[in-house]
Amino acid sequence: MASVLLDLPLRCRCGHVRGVGSAVSPSTGFRFFCYCKDCQAFARFLKRVDVLDTAGGTDIFQMPPALVRLTAGRDAVRCVRLSDGGVFRWYTDCCRTPIGNTFGPRVPMIGVIHCFMDHQADGRSRDAVLGPPLCRIYERSAVGPLPPTAPAPPSFGLFVRRTSKVLAWWLRGLARPNPFFDEGWNAPCSVPRVLTHSERAALR
Ligand SMILES: [Zn+2]
Ligand SMILES: [Zn+2]
């Protein structure tokens, strides 16, 4: 069955920050589970370990920045970096909902975290909209046995597919606009808070 390209509502837990993911389908992006220590530390920083699965995994959908729009509550969007030069991790100040991860204003992808996608309002299941997760990464950092539903580790073919997909986003100009960076200056829309070594260490 051909996948239907529909907009997907985005929403923080309290509803202050809202947005839209355009034309979201399994072929729009790349869904995976990340078990890395940094994604776990981000959830701990937010005091939202409830967003992790039982082994500490985060369900992420990487998609092109141009297809993610914020429509309300931009004033509550915040950014944290676990180290100087680290990934830009975006969240909402109103209710500490993790939004997603970006590598910078020029990198053509945003890893949108599952809890910012409003599948309830959308009425379709996450698997139906995004397809099943394609792989898991950093499972060595998992904090428990992986759930039976955990996807397989990435194959080389999947790695190639993802690289060519991201390259295609870049070639199609989908790196811009990025909802988290100023169009002209490339400045982050909220000044990132960079954690100190001891702040980061406290999140282990
Ligand atoms: Zn909120
Ligand atoms: Zn991670």
Q: What is the DSSP string of 141-179?
A: G-SSPPPTTPPPPPPHHHHHHHHHHHHHHHHTTTT-S-T
Q: What is the number of the ligand closest to the CA of 13?
A: 1
| Residue 1, pLDDT score | 46
Q: Find the 38 Cα to ligand 2 centroid distance in Å.
A: 6
CB 126 within 8 A of CB 132: no
Using alpha carbons, select from 132, 129, 91 the residue that is nearest to residue 111. 91
pLDDT along the chain (204 residues), means of 10: 75 98 94 98 97 97 97 98 95 98 94 97 94 97 94 94 94 95 90 96 93
**DSSP letter assigned to residue 26:** T
Instruction: Give the pLDDT score at 171.
Output: 95
Looking at all shown ligands, the one closest to residue 77's CA atom is 1
Q: d(Cα 125, Cα 182) in Å, to the nearest integer?
A: 33
pLDDT at position 49: 96
Output the pTM of the full model. 0.95
Report pLDDT for 204.
87
Report residue 31: phi and psi, to 5°: -100, 135
Residue 3: the pLDDT is 53
Q: 132 CA distance to ligand 1 centroid (A)?
A: 27
Enumerate residues with CB within 5 Å of ligand 2 (an ion): 34, 36, 39
Q: How far is CA 62 from CA 110, 121, 143, 199, in A?
A: 5, 21, 23, 27
The pair phi, psi for residue 116, each rounded to 5°, is -90, -5
- The H or E element containing residue 130 is helix 126-130
Q: How far apart are CA 87 and CA 97, in angstroms?
A: 17
Predicted confidence at residue 184, as pLDDT, reads 84
CB atoms within 10 A of CB 159: 11
φ, ψ for residue 24, nearest 5 deg: -85, 130
